[in-house]
Amino acid sequence: MTLPLTISIDAMGGDHAPKAVIDSLSLIMARRPDKPARFLLHGDEAVIGPLLAAQPEAVRRACEVRHTPTEVRMTDKPSEAVRRARGSSMWNTILAVKEGEAKAAVSAGNTGALMALSKVILRMKPGVHRPAISASWPTVKGFTVVLDVGANVECGAAQLVEFAIMGEAYCRAVHGVQRPTVGLLNVGQEELKGNDTVREADGLIRASRLDLDYRGFVEGDDISLGRTDVVVTDGFSGNIALKAAEGTAKLLGGWVKEAFTSSLLAKIGVLFLSMGGLKRLRERLDPDKINGGVLLGMNGMVVKSHGGAQAGGFATALALALDLADSDFMSEIEHNLARFARAQAVEAPVLEPAK
């Protein structure tokens, strides 16, 4: 008998919590009937209890409510959250991972606070200087993992190499790509293009002989074309690219809707298309299908759901957490980080003692 994986959930985090969170549980259990799961729900029991009571019996049996009267607000600054969040629903959600009660934590709450609290509670993995937030980017070939998409406005060359290591293992665990290809985001594919940091990172990856299928520089349009399975960049560029892509998807969705509702004839055409290509297009543009970013680099798994996610979107974030919890990507990351650290130690210059 397969033992259930335990996921710790911040039931109070997000714009539509806790209802969207509780409603997502029946959805995720229906998606994975052959993979049992258990959920620790952290939040106000007086609010969560009635919502949970309305769920099917199987959902109620899979849940344990951990009463926490306080929560981290969406408007809290990360520094304020660290000082005041002890005992909150977000704090206890992460703490359950540290204490071994759960394999992963999921929250749709304040992103900055979640990052700060995760660093305080879980600490960084040895060999990782900064965490990264990953995103699964829809492409013509499937999905491309892009990181960082917002955790670090600036980062050095060594951090970009760490992101490459973490993103490659993450892509294999989540998307099932056995040998993911990796590229560095740049303004061109030529060796002399880009700033010093990107060119130095390229040199480090090549010199370190990491167990990566590294393909060199990729450009912005290569992301959606799926030229590589993993695209590495700093959080400043990654976040701008992500928001630009989200805006483009909304624009396209608006144009499609306008085109199909512009006349009676167009509306009749929609009726014939709704069972075919239009349905597939709608599914591809549905943000709920790709919700969930992972905070990579911690001594524990933390998944960030979009703050505005409804039940379907939060269920997608839960599915991501369960997939990661059922994989060995953490050990793969540790292996390549250790290899990178050894390579840097060998190449570091030996300084002669001062006379």
2 has pLDDT over 50: yes
- For residues 214 and 304, membership in a common domain is answered with no
141 and 268, same domain (yes or no): yes
Residue 182 host element (H or E): strand 181-185
Cα–Cα separations (whole angstroms), residue 242 to 139, 223, 245, 287: 13, 10, 5, 12
Question: What is the pTM for the complete model shown?
Answer: 0.82
Same domain, 44 and 184: no
User: 68 and 28, same structural domain?
Assistant: yes
CATH of the domain at 56: 3.40.718.10
Q: What is the DSSP letter of 288?
A: G
Backbone φ and ψ of 218, nearest 5°: -130, 155
Residue 210 lies in a domain: yes
Distance CA 8, CA 191 (A): 45
Q: Residue 251 burial by CB count (10 A; 0-12/13-18/19+): exposed, middle or buried?
A: exposed
- As given in the structure block, the two tokens for residue 206 are 């090549």
State the Cα angle at 62 between 58 and 65, rounded to 5°. Answer: 125
Residues 138 and 36 in one domain: no
Domain-ending residue, one of 249, 270, 292: 292
pLDDT at 189: 83
Q: How many domains does the chain have?
A: 2
Q: Are residues 53 and 136 in the same domain?
A: no
> Is 94 in the same domain as 205?
no
Helices 157-175 + 196-208 axis angle, to 10: 60
DSSP for residue 2: P
* Domain closes at, from 245, 273, 292: 292
Cα dihedral value 34, 38, 44, 48, nearest 10: 30
178 and 61 in a single domain? The answer is no
Within this chain, do residues 309 and 288 fall inside the same structural domain, yes or no?
no
pLDDT tens string 110-130:
988 999 999 999 999 887 888
Task: Tell me the residue range of the domain where 77 lies.
Answer: 1-128+297-326
pLDDT in tens, 14-71: 999 999 999 999 999 998 888 889 999 999 999 999 999 999 999 999 999 999 999 9
In 3-state terms, the chain is what percent helix, strand and coil (to 5)? 50, 15, 35
In this structure, the answer to whether residues 178 and 287 fall within a common structural domain is yes
Does the residue 332 lie in any domain? no
Residues 69 and 4 in one domain: yes
Q: Answer yes or no: do 124 and 152 share one domain.
A: no
